[in-house]
Chain A
Amino acid sequence: MRNYNLDIAGYNIRFESEDDGPELVPSERFDNFICSGGKPDFLIRVHTGSFTFHEKTERVFNAPYVEEVNGLMMKKNDEFWSIFQYNNDLFLKTVFPYSGNNEEAVLKFSLSQSVWDLWFSSKSKGIDPLSYPLDGLILYYLTVISGDIMIHASGVNYSGKGYLFSGVSGKGKSTMAKLWDAFGAEVIHDDRLILRSESDGFYMFNTPVYKNEKPAKSKLDKIFLIEHGKENRIVPAGGAQCVSLIMANCIQHNWDKKIITRLLDSVSGLCDKIPASRLFFKPDHSIIDFICGNEKR
């Protein structure tokens, strides 16, 4: 197709390709997020061909390619994706580690404009504009523009209450989601959420990672910053500690003070409105009883 719209976390994102441009072929995990048009919040125009940077373009942020090996993060390649800047224009350049070839893409974007351009060096007839890692990176910068938060967390809704369990890799997000799923809760996502402030409070949204996912949204009532423990224990977190613990689990590219300030403002606003606690938990269903029992007090 030449164009389509996605509704992800309430952002209406339109992808367009011109007549002589590539065929757009979103991967299956976006199937349930395709929506029927409407006024887009963001427009991404997709092109094929190489992009030439201005000679004075500077790299402002770099992400090497790392993989987890036996629990350790090992750097596999110095070059994965980077952010560049020339005057007011920003550029994201990335390779595709799972594609097995040397293709790359360049996204020209801005934090003050909602029309972006995306070039793929690929000569394939079909392009998925949100091929990894572009999916997470594009969504991240949409949250920066919107003043929202993207966070490593699982989220569930049980009996109308939305609980967020946040932690980096290995802290138990997926374990927690599985336990609540077995208990009959609605799992919003088990790995990555977008948090948005609406007129009646904060909401959490899933981001498409797995095949057959459907859009999911829940009001957010409590935040738990999780770690495995020998016993189930809650320790309320507030003030600067709450802000810093949540920040540590947010996706953040801190190469620009304005970006950091926006995220700090958003996280501070979240901490002001949503109670947060550190949660040490045993990875069995006793944590469900513990949290539900705690709610009744």
Chain B
Amino acid sequence: MINLSIIPLRSPSVVTRKTGNEYVLVPVENNIADMNSVYTLNETGAFLWELIDGENNIEDMIEALIREYDVDEQTATSDVSEFITEMSKYLIIN
């Protein structure tokens, strides 16, 4: 069960570019073997990424997702947890 009070932060070692309603994320790497790890965020992922501002905790993100997309709490919690897990390379979770 994810700790809802955690405030995730964006890793400083990633470059992002917004394209329309989506994002492209490219991590800084120091070895050529780690290339090709470009990541894209669809519209929902972009929405969650933009909530990661150093102030919103995970509970805030869940509530914002519920409001924006009119989904139930269980779905929103699952979506945000999955997002945080998948994006762990691009985030700092203290």
Contacts and interface: CB of A to CB of B under 8 A. Distances in A.
Interface of A: 59-64, 66, 75, 168, 239-241, 243-244, 247-248, 252-257, 260-261, 264-265, 268, 271
A264 B35 contact: no
Interface in B14-55: 15, 17, 19-20, 22-24, 26-33, 35-36, 38-42
Nearest to A263: B26
Contacts, number: 72
Contact of B22 (A168, A239, A255, A260): A239
30 contacts: A59-B30, A60-B30, A61-B29, A61-B30, A62-B30, A62-B31, A62-B32, A63-B32, A66-B33, A75-B33, A239-B22, A240-B24, A240-B40, A240-B41, A243-B19, A243-B40, A244-B24, A247-B38, A248-B36, A252-B35, A254-B28, A254-B35, A256-B28, A257-B28, A260-B15, A260-B26, A260-B28, A261-B17, A264-B26, A268-B24
Contacts of B29: 61, 254-255
Q: Could you say which interface size class chain B belongs to?
A: 20 to 34
Contacts of A66: 33
Given A239-B19, A256-B28, 11 more contacts: A61-B31, A62-B31, A62-B32, A63-B32, A240-B24, A244-B40, A248-B38, A254-B35, A255-B30, A264-B17, A264-B24
For B23, B36, B38, the residue with the greatest tally of chain A CB atoms inside 10 Å of its CB is B38
A247 B26 CA distance: 9
Nearest to B20: A239
A168 B29 CA distance: 19
Given A268-B17, A268-B19, A244 B28 contact: no
Nearest to B39: A244
A253 B32 contact: yes
B24 A255 contact: no
B26 A254 contact: yes
Contacts of A268: 17, 19, 24
